[in-house]
Structure 1
């Protein structure tokens, strides 16, 4: 196990790989209670690092997607309804003048 490092310096893959090793060692057993507690604590730290990286990635993806939608003029809903021009975006059937569905 690596000594406690600056969590900000760990990349996602590095933290994930070390976390996998911590879990492997805990599952294998054969460690003292003190060693197991230290491994558990390190695993918790590494899991937090991974979660921060994943949350940051999700935020970047969400920002990129919302930026793309804004650049397209918000037409995503109209495109999804096969070009329907209804102001409410519903899939109401179009009727002819006699009230029959087309």
Structure 2
């Protein structure tokens, strides 16, 4: 199974949190949702870290271009 994109993971995480906050779930259901939420949060973090890295690389190239002028 492939990892969802950032937006899909974020949206599913929002739904997981909403369901947990609403309550009325069994302990087993709550634990399963919590675990899924943790997975989704890690996925979001990986996507954000990748985006940060791309931005840092782009800024470094831009700074090199300015320094050469």
Same fold, judged at TM 0.5 (above): yes
Could you tell me which runs of 5 or more consecutive residues in structure 1 were left unpaired when the two chains were aligned.
1-5, 76-102
Residue 25 (structure 1) aligned with residue 33 (structure 2):
no
> Secondary structure at 2:67's aligned position in 1?
coil
Per the TM alignment, residue 72 of structure 1 is displaced from its structure 2 partner at its CA by 0.8
Aligned equivalents of 1:24 and 1:74: distance in 2? 52
Structure with the higher fraction of residues in helix conformation: 2
Give, in whole Å, the separation in 2 of the partners of 1:7 and 1:64.
27
Distance 1:14 1:7 in 2: 12
Distance in 2 (alpha carbons) for counterparts of 1:74 and 1:19: 45
When Rg is computed on C-alpha atoms for both structures, the one with the higher figure is 1
- Name the residue aligned to 1:82: none
1:50 aligns with 2:48: no
Kindly state the Cα deviation for residue 60 of structure 1 after the two structures are TM-superposed.
Answer: 0.2
Q: 1:26 to 1:7 in 2, by over 3 A?
A: farther
Aligned residues: 69
Q: Displacement of 1:11 after TM fit?
A: 0.5
Higher relative contact order (CA 8 A, sep 6+): 2
CA RMSD of aligned residues (A): 1.4
- Identify unmatched segments of 5+ residues in structure 2: none
